Amino acid sequence: MIHMATIYEVSKLAGVSLATVSRVMNNNTPVRESTRKKVLAAMEQLGYRPNSIAQSLASNCSNSVGILVSELHGPFYGAMLTGIEAEFRAAGKHVIIAAGHSELATEQEGIEFLQSRSCDALILHVEAVSDDYLIKLAQTDTPFVLLNRQIPALADRCISLNNELGGYLATQHLLAQGHRDIAYIAGPMWKTDAKERYQGHQRALADYQLVANPALFFEGDFRETGGSKGLSAILATGLPFTALVCGNDEMASGALTAARELGLSVPDSFSVVGFDNVNFAYYTYPKLSTIDYPISAMGQMAARWVLREVYRSATVEVQQLFEPHFIPRDSVKACSPT
């Protein structure tokens, strides 16, 4: 065990008080230049490294932020963590992670676990805990910001995607390519995401004086099986359609596989658009046209919220609603409007 120099040793070597060493280190009070140089030289000679735990205790600021996400794997969460970590790293704050697995008990426990570390703030991507729980949490002494969760009572601390616009863009692209009979496989309609994406789909149709045909609608589960079942159900109606919008990429992938198994060729038989631009969307055959979701930027913005609200360091405006954009790939082909 190599001995770590303390602030006391630096002060003795530099011939100044502890307080002056602290002032030099934190650069928060004027120090005469000649004194500063003596202190810095002593620090360098001793290889001094401040004990951040002692700093945290004395200053009542841990310089760390807890992040609770549903999972640590998957393109969504990877991008989120990347955005968050990079922003905090640049600001010298440490990021502590925990996974909530979208389970009520695990999420709550995870929040408490992070609180127990005296994190200065939390960034939460949680699904299972109730709005009430979060409203109560907002009354405790732990500041937090929510990612991809909308709670009106906590509006100033919610950062999310404009799902309605994403649904609109997905369908609008098909309409602009001449498609008029557009089938839709939705996520679970109790989920706000799924509902808003479908609303955007409806709005795009309305722009063309069209109405969604309920027979060309299937409520899926946001999983691959929802996509394959949805496509089978829609095909079973015997109704014509030239394009399919899926509420997320995983269901789109399921639909692609099902189509292939039924001897249907995408986009020749019908075009497909997904949502999320998860990384596998690029590897499907055909490569999937989809809606991109700037999750890394959203994570970054959550970090900025914390830097602004808790650390008072950011001066930049925090954007709370993010806009998706359309990623054209190979799964859409134009057709003549009927």
Partner DNA sequence: AGTATAAATGTAAGCGCTTTCATTTATAGC
Partner DNA sequence: GCTATAAATGAAAGCGCTTACATTTATACT
Q: Which is nearer to a second copy, 71 or 323 (CB)?
A: 71
25 contact choice in a second copy, DNA, none (CB below 5 to 8 Å, kind-dependent): DNA
Q: Which is nearer to a second copy, 4 or 206 (CB)?
A: 4
In this chain, which of 25, 128, 138, 154 binds DNA, going by CB under 7 A? 25
In a 13 Å sphere around the CA of 36, the CA atoms on its Cβ side amount to: 11
* Residues ≥6 apart with Cβ < 8 Å to 190: none
97 contact choice in DNA, a second copy, none (CB below 5 to 8 Å, kind-dependent): a second copy
Q: Is 257 an interacting residue with respect to DNA (CB under 7 A)?
A: no
Answer for the pair 109, 124: CB distance below 8 angstroms, yes or no.
no
DSSP labels, 250-315: HHHHHHHHHHHHTT--TTTT-EEE-SB--GGGGTSSSPPBEEE--HHHHHHHHHHHHHHHTS----
264 contact choice in DNA, a second copy, none (CB below 5 to 8 Å, kind-dependent): none
Q: Is 319 an interacting residue with respect to DNA (CB under 7 A)?
A: no
Q: Is 107 an interacting residue with respect to a second copy (CB under 8 A)?
A: no
Handedness of CA 105, 106, 109, 111 (dihedral sign): negative
In this chain, which of 41, 44, 47, 57 binds DNA, going by CB under 7 A? 57
Residue 114 structure tokens = 């992070």
78 contact choice in a second copy, DNA, none (CB below 5 to 8 Å, kind-dependent): a second copy
Q: Which is nearer to a second copy, 193 or 224 (CB)?
A: 224
DSSP labels, 174-206: HHHTT---EEEEE--TTSHHHHHHHHHHHHHHH
Answer for the pair 168, 201: CB distance below 8 angstroms, yes or no.
yes
Give the three-class secondary structure for 59: helix
DSSP labels, 115-150: HTTT-SEEEE--SSS-HHHHHHHTTSS--EEEES--
Q: Give least dist CB 7 to a second copy, A.
A: 13
Which part of the chain contacts DNA (CB under 7 A), choosing from 52-60, 77-85, 166-174, 264-272?
52-60
In this chain, which of 44, 45, 47, 54 binds DNA, going by CB under 7 A? 54
Q: Is 269 an interacting residue with respect to a second copy (CB under 8 A)?
A: no
Bridge partners (DSSP) of residue 161 are 322
Q: Is 52 an interacting residue with respect to a second copy (CB under 8 A)?
A: yes
Q: Is 64 an interacting residue with respect to a second copy (CB under 8 A)?
A: yes
Q: Is 236 an interacting residue with respect to a second copy (CB under 8 A)?
A: no
Q: Which residues bind DNA (CB under 7 A)?
A: 4, 6-8, 15-23, 25-26, 28-32, 34-36, 50-51, 54-55, 57-60
